[in-house]
Every structure is written in C-alpha cells, then in structure tokens.
Copies of this chain bind each other. A is one copy, B any other.
Amino acid sequence: MTELPFNELGSIETKSIELFPEGLQLESGVTLFPITIAYETYGKLNEGCDNAILVCHALSGGAHAAGFHPGEKKPGWWDVMIGPGKAFDTNRYFVVSSNVLGSCYGSTGPSSLHPAKGKPYGLRFPVVTVRDMVKAQRQLLDFLGVRSLLTVTGGSMGGMQALQWAVSYPELVRSVIAIATTHRHSAQQIAFNEVARQAVMADPAWQQGDYYETEGPRLGLAVARMVGHITYLSDLGMEQKFGRRLRNRERFGYDFSLDFEVESYLRHQGQSFVERFDANSLLYITKALDYFDVANGYGSLSKAFRETRASYLLLAFSSDWLYPPHQLKEVAQAIRRLGKDATYCEIKSDYGHDAFLLEHQIQTPMIQSFLDRVAKGKI
C-alpha cells in the first residue's frame, strides 16, 4: 500500500461545470458553446461571501493548484503558496483555481469535441483572449456564490488575468497580486512565442491541427517547450545548476549524442511536456498571451486602470529576463499616477521567471501582510 504524501488540504479533486447555457461571446465576436470549466476550491466561503481569492495559472498550468490528487505524488503547481498558514491561507480564505478556456486540462479548448463535427475542434476552435478567460472565470465565481474577490492573483499569464480582472470587473475586485508578469508582451516576448508555434507547426505530424487520432506533433512540441524552458530560467541559475558538467562521461563525446547535462535536462523537459500537454492548446494560449494588452480599447495604461477599485501588489524578480521587472514597474507607475494604491517590489532571486513558483519564503510574508490589510479594509 502506497502512503499518500501528507498535505493539510487532504485529497483534492478537480471538478467541472458547464457555463454559459447560451454560449460565451468571445472578444473576437464568435460565440462558443458549450463551455466547460474545470476548477478546484480550497478552504470555505464565509457567510459574508467576502473571503474569496481567485488563483490564475500560467501557460501550461491547470486548475490543480494545491493539495494532492488521489494516488499522485506531486501536489498542485502552487501548493507552496496555498494551504493552512500559507500565503493564501485556507483557514481564512476560500481559494478558487480554474483552468483557462483554451487549455487541455478539463476546460473547453481545441482538443474538446466540436459539438457539430463530433470530433475535436483542432484549428476550428476560435481564438480566445485573456479577457475571454476572465469572462469565463466570472461565471464560475457566480456559480460558486462569490460576490466579491478579496484578491485575484497569479504569476506570468496568471498575473495578466489578475490585471485584466481589475479592469474588466472593477466592482468585484478588492485587490490584485500580479507576479512576474506584464501589461502586454514586448516584441521579444512575442518572438519567443512565435518560435514555439513555428516549432509545432513545422512538425508534419501536426497536420494543420487535426492530429487527435494520431500521436500528434511530439517532436515539434518538445522543441517548443525547450525554447520556453530556457526563458523560464536565469543565465546564472542555469550556470549554478548545470554549468558545463558532462553527463555520464569524462570527456566530450565528439558526436551528437548527449554531452552536457543541460542538454539532457532540456530534452527531458521537452519529452515530459509532450506527455502532458496539447500542442494546439500551446498555439492558442501563446496567441492569447501575445494579443494581451490590458490597455486595449482604453488608449493608455493609466486610462485602463482609471475605473478600477483594487489595491495592487506587484512582484517582479531581478533575474526574470522573460518578464523583466521594468514592465511591472511601468504598471505600478501608471496606477499610482491615478492616485491609487500600488506596491511594487523587485525581489532579488536567481531563479529567473520560475521564481514565482519557487520563492515562496520571500513572497509569503509580503502577501500575507498585504491580504491582511485588504481584508481589514486598511487599503
């Protein structure tokens, strides 16, 4: 008998719900139906229905943010931050985590069945945006009886959703904790995503997205993930972790077999991603990232935040070169120019972009004290 790892949250299951009985009108104008959203909750909603926290995931994340699924040895992706006594304290708060529209972890996406065609959407799936993801989350919260959000939080794409929440639904959002993110992609950020997409689409096994009866673009998807993975780590972090160490040999192989440990690590990251993620979802979600601009339709960043009522905690990491600190600092400045409350902090870390998943010890007290002040109405 295998003993489950101990976790205060106990055993967790992902639930799912059908929303938008009349279809969800997307930013593109297309109406999508049916809509299923996968989600998890941790802790309890209080009687005032005002202790809810929405946690938003990054590109390849899902609803499973904390605790253990039965029989699994790895907890949810932000388990270090969510639980009793943790940054998002489930003794006090009701934490909701949902899988974004377009993903492959239980929410409607390109690998879902096209209702009329009787087979997966593939490229027939409409383009979804961060705004669309947030719109779907809002109906989920209605269903769960959440009337207002103490905070919306997330790192990377999760942080974009958090910012978008404050702008889309100002009356519902009391605070935002956006981490390792930006208000919009730069040319370089778009470029890295485009390379990932091209790697997938260059694989003949991609078959214009209609690969669901085959193995799919395994090689292309692995290359796409390898590119991504380099951008998640810092130069220094990689050097400390791998340096020029060789794998299982004393000297160079003088051939194209594995030589350096960093090569083997990257290939492993590519391989394991292929086992767990849908290539079309990668295309759709990277496109959503590239299209995201919280100021879209407002003319400027400050104008976008003008009607928002939230307080902001914006955390960037010194070695995050994928979402460099200056981007989030710009958001803080735009919000402050409106006379609104925005705390910006650049946290020193060697973990690069991945720091939002790893640096829980430094993030926890900052988040706890921020949430405390928001809960007590002090900011």
Interface residues of A, Cβ cutoff 8 Å to B: 28, 123, 126-127, 184-188, 190-192, 194-195, 197-199, 201-204, 219-220, 222-223, 226-227, 230, 233, 235, 238-239, 241-244, 252, 254-256, 259-260, 262-263, 266-267, 270, 283, 287, 290-291, 293, 321, 324
Contact = CB atoms under 8 A, between A and B. Distances in A.
A262 B194 contact: yes
A194 B238 contact: no
One complex includes copies of this chain to the number of: 2
Residue of A28, A256, A270 ringed by the most chain B CB atoms within 10 A: A256
A324 B235 contact: yes
Given A202-B219, A256-B287, A287-B256, A190 B244 contact: yes
Contacts of A223: 195, 198-199, 202, 223
Given A187-B239, A191-B226, A259-B291, 10 more contacts: A186-B238, A186-B239, A187-B242, A187-B244, A190-B262, A194-B262, A195-B266, A198-B223, A198-B270, A235-B321
Contacts of A262: 187, 190-191, 194
Contacts of A244: 184-187, 190, 293
A101 B191 CA distance: 32
A153 B190 CA distance: 35
B188 A259 contact: no
A119 to B, nearest CB: 19
Query: Which 8 residue pairs are nearest across A and B when measured between Cβ atoms?
Result: A202-B219, A187-B238, A28-B254, A187-B242, A127-B254, A187-B262, A194-B263, A188-B235
Contacts of A260: 187, 190, 194, 290
A303 to B, nearest CB: 17
A126 B260 CA distance: 19
A220 B238 contact: no
Contacts of A255: 127
A59 to B, nearest CB: 17
Nearest to A202: B219
A235 B187 CA distance: 7
Nearest to A253: B127
A184 B255 CA distance: 19
Contact of A197 (B241, B256, B293): B256
A233 B254 CA distance: 30
13 contacts: A127-B252, A127-B255, A186-B238, A186-B239, A187-B238, A188-B238, A191-B230, A191-B266, A195-B266, A203-B203, A227-B227, A256-B287, A259-B290
A238 B194 CA distance: 14
A194 B219 CA distance: 14
Contacts of A283: 256
